[in-house]
Amino acid sequence: MTRNTFETNAAGAASMPGGGSALSRRRFLAGVAGLGTLAVSGCVSTQQATVPAASAPVKKAPPPVVDSNALAMYGPLPNEKFPIAAIDLTKVPSRYYRRQVDYVTEEPVGTLVVDTDNFYLYLVQPDGKAMRYGVGLGRAGFTWAGRGRIGWKQEWPKWTPPDEMIARQPNLAQWGADRGGMPPGLENPLGARALYVFQGKVDTLYRVHGTPEYWTIGKAVSSGCVRLMNQDIIDLYERVPSQSPILVLGDPTQPHSHEVAGSSASQAG
């Protein structure tokens, strides 16, 4: 290395007989200057430094263009009991916007079909159509599959965490059944509406509900059953009467339902 070579030469010069030096005064001063340079450079590589060429300023990608129909569907709802703000649709992939699609199924019109593999909920409609909603799924969303019915519906529901959830998260005890649950509101995990799924007279504890965390749509999240954007659960709530059938796919014994690949789809107002 350059520094080691210099130090060896300097040591050799200092040991010359009679205290003489092979270095001229000019070369000595040049060597001192070189030491100063090394001291400043510290851990910089001993390889010759190259000056990078000036790069063009990085341009920020333009924000995604959101269709005007989608902006209308997911705009503010000021007349709700708890006014709902517009959704920032740049945080929700457009494939999860509410839309009508071609849909092949043996299920009767009015059935809800939850496709947990693809994060969609379908409401079967006449003439081979379905209204499709993007959903987020929680732990409970993957633990039950089969048939049920919408036992009852609730606008702006209370939320009561089950005992198993409280055991995992003790801070939720404040909203336990013995304390009346969490009151409705914008921060309530069930959102603006909830559909309660029963099998016969038994509550499955499976819920289709709204969420204030719209950015979780299309994702597997830590809690909840099947969550929709608040604007979507309000739309679904108006279309689905109590006692409507629901099928959660995942049971191989159930008939297969699927969206028609490449079908024309229209956003629903």
* Domain assignment of residue 29, given as a range: 2-41
43, 225, 256, 258: the catalytic one is 225
User: How many domains is the chain partitioned into structurally?
Assistant: 2
- Do 16 and 74 have their domain in common? no
Looking at per-residue pLDDT, the higher value among 211 and 251 belongs to 211
- Do 198 and 112 have their domain in common? yes
Instruction: Judge whether 182 lies within some domain.
Output: yes
Q: Does the active-site annotation cover 258?
A: no
Instruction: Judge whether 47 lies within some domain.
Output: no
Looking at per-residue pLDDT, the higher value among 68 and 54 belongs to 68
- Do 158 and 88 have their domain in common? yes
- Do 6 and 122 have their domain in common? no
- Do 93 and 132 have their domain in common? yes
Instruction: Judge whether 150 lies within some domain.
Output: yes
Give mean pLDDT, residues 124-130: 98
Instruction: Judge whether 48 lies within some domain.
Output: no
Ordered DSSP codes for the chain: -HHHHHHHHHHHHHTSGGG--SS-HHHHHHHHHHHHHHHHHTTS-SSPP-PPPPPPPPPPPPPPP--HHHHHHTS-BTTSSS-BPPP-GGGS-GGGS-EEEEEE-SSPTT-EEEETTTTEEEEEETTTEEEEEE-EE-GGGGT--EEEEEEEEEES--B---HHHHHH-GGGGGGSGGGT-BPSSTT-TTTTEEEEEEETTEEEEEEEEEES-GGGTTSB-SS-SEEEEHHHHHHHHHH--TT-EEEES--TTSPP-EEPTT---EE--
- Do 131 and 252 have their domain in common? yes
Question: Rounded distance, CA 10 to CA 190, Å?
Answer: 79
Instruction: Judge whether 52 lies within some domain.
Output: no
Instruction: Judge whether 185 lies within some domain.
Output: yes
Give mean pLDDT, residues 30-44: 34
Query: What is the structure's pLDDT at 54?
Result: 58
Give the confidence band of 30 by pLDDT, cuts at 50, 70, 90. Answer: very low
Instruction: Judge whether 73 lies within some domain.
Output: yes
- Do 78 and 190 have their domain in common? yes
pTM metric for this prediction: 0.72
- Do 108 and 191 have their domain in common? yes
Looking at per-residue pLDDT, the higher value among 266 and 10 belongs to 266
Give mean pLDDT, residues 197-211: 94
- Do 163 and 213 have their domain in common? yes
Instruction: Tell me the pLDDT tens digit for each residue of 152-166.
Output: 999 999 999 888 888
Phi, psi torsion values for 143, nearest 5 degrees: -100, -5
Q: Does the active-site annotation cover 43?
A: no
- Do 25 and 108 have their domain in common? no
Question: Rounded distance, CA 105 to CA 256, Å?
Answer: 7
Question: Rounded distance, CA 160 to CA 184, Å?
Answer: 11
Query: What is the structure's pLDDT at 250?
Result: 77
pLDDT at position 9 over 70: no
43, 209, 256, 258: the catalytic one is 209
CATH of the domain at 209: 2.40.440.10
Q: Which two tokens stand for residue 30?
A: 């040049």
